[in-house]
């Protein structure tokens, strides 16, 4: 990343390359680092420098710690602005394409009859289909695992399955239908969880659920 400051009154000597200091901060490293920008030539009044972005650790010389999605802020303290006063001038830039917190949101789950018509309640001994739909809203393909659970009124799972989409393309939606036959009347919840791994993954959708009744 290149930083330029144009300030003719900091060109103090027309036969020497002068320098100015800027403070560079990021969302991840708000403490910031001080960087010296060198005049581009002996008499230009334009000061330039290059810094490098690294994701972890401590910053070395000319390095700032920043991750995708961070904002980098450059602060230049101008000792004499146009009205002769000290003024802090800032400029900002974003790092990369931010990954949304939940890049693969699940839609509210649905329930279908064995004739594939939407139903709001189920009947003991009659098969229904549970519908889960997820959409990859990120800009690149992602590994997606969709967990489908039916919980009883106490929150115990009475049905569980999952679907793996190893490379769900950007912008693509996938729907699943899982057959389930209730065996007991009561209040139940369908819950959909979406993660980026089968075991120990991180949630890439907020959990979504609906509650419904199973009648005798």
Residues near Ca ion (CB under 5 A): 11, 13, 18, 42
In angstroms, what is the minimal distance from the CB of 78 to Ca ion?
Answer: 16
Q: How far is CA 143 from CA 95, 111, 132, 175, 194, in A?
A: 23, 25, 16, 15, 10
Contact between 67 and 95 (Cβ < 8 Å): yes
In angstroms, what is the minimal distance from the CB of 14 to Ca ion?
Answer: 6
In angstroms, what is the minimal distance from the CB of 21 to Ca ion?
Answer: 15
Nearer to Ca ion by Cβ, of 6 and 169: the residue is 6
Nearer to Ca ion by Cβ, of 11 and 131: the residue is 11
In angstroms, what is the minimal distance from the CB of 45 to Ca ion?
Answer: 7
Provide φ and ψ at 198, rounded to 5°. -70, -40
Contact between 144 and 204 (Cβ < 8 Å): yes
The alpha carbon of 155 is separated from its chain's Cα centroid by a whole number of angstroms, namely: 30
Chain position carrying tokens 């065996």: 183
Angle (CA) 111-117-118 rounded to 5° is: 35
Nearer to Ca ion by Cβ, of 17 and 163: the residue is 17
Nearer to Ca ion by Cβ, of 42 and 124: the residue is 42
């Amino acid at each position: 990343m290149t930083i330029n400051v144009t300030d003719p009154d900091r060109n103090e000597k027309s036969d020497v390359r002068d320098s100015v200091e800027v403070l560079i901060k990021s969302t991840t490293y708000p403490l910031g680092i001080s960087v010296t920008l060198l005049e581009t030539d002996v008499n230009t009044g334009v000061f330039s420098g290059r810094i490098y972005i690294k994701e972890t650790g401590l910053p070395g010389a000319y390095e700032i710690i920043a991750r995708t999605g961070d904002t980098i802020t450059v602060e230049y303290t101008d000792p004499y602005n146009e009205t002769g006063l000290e003024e802090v001038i800032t400029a900002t830039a974003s790092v990369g394409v931010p990954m949304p917190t939940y890049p693969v949101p699940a839609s509210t789950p649905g329930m279908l009859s064995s004739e594939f018509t939407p139903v709001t309640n189920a009947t003991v001994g009659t098969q229904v289909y549970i519908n889960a739909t997820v959409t990859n809203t990120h800009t690149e393909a992602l590994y997606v695992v969709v967990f489908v659970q039916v919980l009883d009124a106490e929150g115990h799972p009475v049905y569980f399955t999952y679907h793996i989409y190893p490379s769900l393309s950007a912008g693509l939606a996938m729907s699943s239908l899982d057959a389930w036959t209730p065996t007991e009347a009561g209040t139940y919840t369908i819950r959909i969880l979406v993660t980026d791994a089968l075991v120990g993954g991180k949630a890439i959708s907020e959990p979504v659920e609906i509650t419904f009744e199973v009648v005798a």
